Chains A and B, each alone.
Chain A
Amino acid sequence: MASAFELTRNMTIGQYIPTDSAVHRFDPRFKLVAFGVLVLAIAFCNTYVGNLFALAFCLALFPLIRIPVGYGVSGIKPAVPFIIIIALLQFFFSGSIAPGGTLHFEYGVIRITGDSIRLVIVSAMRFVEVIFLSSVLTFSTSTTDLTRGMECLLSPLEKVKFPVHAFALVLTIAIRFVPTFAMEMEKLMKAQASRGAEFGSGEWWRIIRRTKDMFPLIIPLFNLALTRAEDLILAMESRGYVPGEERSVYTRYRSKGADWGLLGISLALAAVILWLP
């Protein structure tokens, strides 16, 4: 109850924590590529050993970026119930999708095969690994660096007239405003609760009523966002911002030997994950 309204302070995913480790100082472009390589490798890894290796490696990354392992691991807490429910469902019903291996049990639609057991365990592990990897990336890279890195990586697309810079700007604005809106939302929830609001009361079948119960939050939130947008548009236009124009940048990324090293290591790890039996 005490923390029911504390949105901003309980959001751990996407939180940048400046501990200034070696990982923090890598070129964001290389971090993004390395992240992509590892996520792909995990996505294609179907073996127990490979996933165990990947899991151990992901856990080892937390000390490397100077974040307590316990804090990093706590990022999966909200996902745990879902992982369990989905795993159970898959365990009983995915026999038809993965019919290979020995058949252990069959009753009506419930079919448990050797392959389906492995599918359940492996997909849960993969899921946890990807969450850990994303946490490591966001803990160690500021959102500015992430979007700038993304923009650089996408820049070849400018050749086919894709507005890379505009797209990166949209992303920057979106990411920049999430914490602001989270704070506004928290304030709104508290303010409306102070004048007696209860969210999601009433009989369960009254869809319209239950939706309208959310109006004290949703409508001011959208209004605030669109008002902020108008302010920002005015500010950008009055500073002479023209979309699609050539512009100079303040920071240029220059790859160092260490960055190539990071890429090499991630490729090697990906290879190991995929080659393990």
Chain B
Amino acid sequence: MNNRLTVRKIVIAGVLGAISILLGVTRLGFIPVPTAAGNATIMHIPAVIGGILEGWGVGLVIGLIFGVSSFLNATVPLFKDPLVAIIPRLFIGVAAYFTYVGLKRFNQLLAVGLAGFIGSLTNTVLVLLVAVLRGYLSSGVALTIAVTNGIPEAVVSVIVTVAVVGVWKRIGSGRQTSKVSRGVEGEKLDHRRAGD
């Protein structure tokens, strides 16, 4: 994927940037799973997806949009510091892109999943690193957050990235029959599991 400027790159960056902003301003960008913060954010996922689909340049620009919008919408003083809010976000899509490109010859779906994982971890680690350097958090607190927040968030990121990119790029994931066509063994499953 070369990095020449194309209409496609401009438009995809804009559209995914819009989603990043939307997830931030409407608080839909949070999934209520157990983390230190009480939920995992998915606002960085457009940057990951942009990086996978259109290269590191697009990933970087979406990261910038995400950073600026999280800076403008910040309700926590930590993110009212542009160094914390913006700079780390630039690398999310870049890291995702290089992970994806490095691994895609082995397995497309695996590459996408790991790109989601690395992209999300890049976000957590760099934000916390800058926060420590700027004196907002002690390194112990940062490490705790990295583990309790970063890992669940990265898991969420993998699931969402694989689902979205898988559907869009039509990468199959194995299962070719719907739940309703499963036979007797399916019936033994209680309906809650089947509803997963």
Contact = CB atoms under 8 A, between A and B. Distances in A.
A and B touch in the complex (CB under 8 A): yes
A4 to B, nearest CB: 12
- Which of B11, B73, B163 is packed against the most chain A CB atoms within 10 Å? B11
Interface stretch (B74-82, B118-126, B172-180): B74-82
Interface string A29-42: 00000000000000
A173 B33 contact: no
B124 to A, nearest CB: 15
B72 interface: yes
Interface string A119-135: 00001001100100010
Contact of B11 (A126, A208, A215, A229): A229
B8 interface: yes
B161 to A, nearest CB: 10
Contact of B28 (A204, A217, A223, A225): A217
Interface residues on chain B, size class:
35 or more
B34 A207 contact: yes
B16 interface: yes
Q: Give the interface centre of B5, B20, B77, B159 by most chain A CB atoms within 10 Å.
A: B77
Contacts of A171: 14, 17, 65
Contact-residue bracket for chain A: 35 or more
B8 to A, nearest CB: 5
Q: Is the interface of B mostly helix, strand, loop or mixed?
A: helix
Contact of B155 (A163, A166, A208, A223): A208
B75 to A, nearest CB: 4
Interface stretch (A63-71, A230-238, A246-254): A230-238
Contact of A222 (B6, B19, B40, B76): B19
Contacts of B76: 82, 86
B77 A127 contact: yes
Contacts of B167: 219, 222-223
A243 interface: yes
A207 B33 contact: yes
B22 interface: yes
A200 B32 contact: yes
B15 A241 contact: no
Contacts of A222: 19, 49, 164, 167-168
A205 interface: yes
B49 A175 contact: no
A83 B75 contact: yes
B51 to A, nearest CB: 14
Interface string B116-137: 0000000000000000000100
Contacts of B96: none
A178 B10 contact: no
A241 B87 CA distance: 31
User: 7 tightest CB-CB pairs across the interface, nearest first?
Assistant: A173-B14, A174-B17, A177-B18, A82-B75, A229-B15, A200-B32, A222-B164
Interface of A: 7, 11, 13-14, 78-79, 82-83, 86, 90, 97, 123, 126-127, 130, 134, 163, 166-167, 169-178, 180-182, 185, 200, 204-205, 207-212, 214-215, 217-219, 221-223, 225-226, 228-229, 232-233, 236-237, 241-244
Interface of B: 5-8, 10-22, 25-26, 28, 31-34, 40, 42, 49, 61, 65, 72-73, 75-77, 80, 135, 152, 155-156, 159-160, 163-164, 167-168, 196
20 contacts: A79-B75, A83-B75, A130-B80, A171-B65, A174-B14, A174-B18, A174-B21, A176-B14, A200-B31, A204-B34, A207-B34, A207-B40, A207-B152, A208-B196, A217-B28, A223-B168, A225-B18, A229-B12, A229-B14, A242-B7
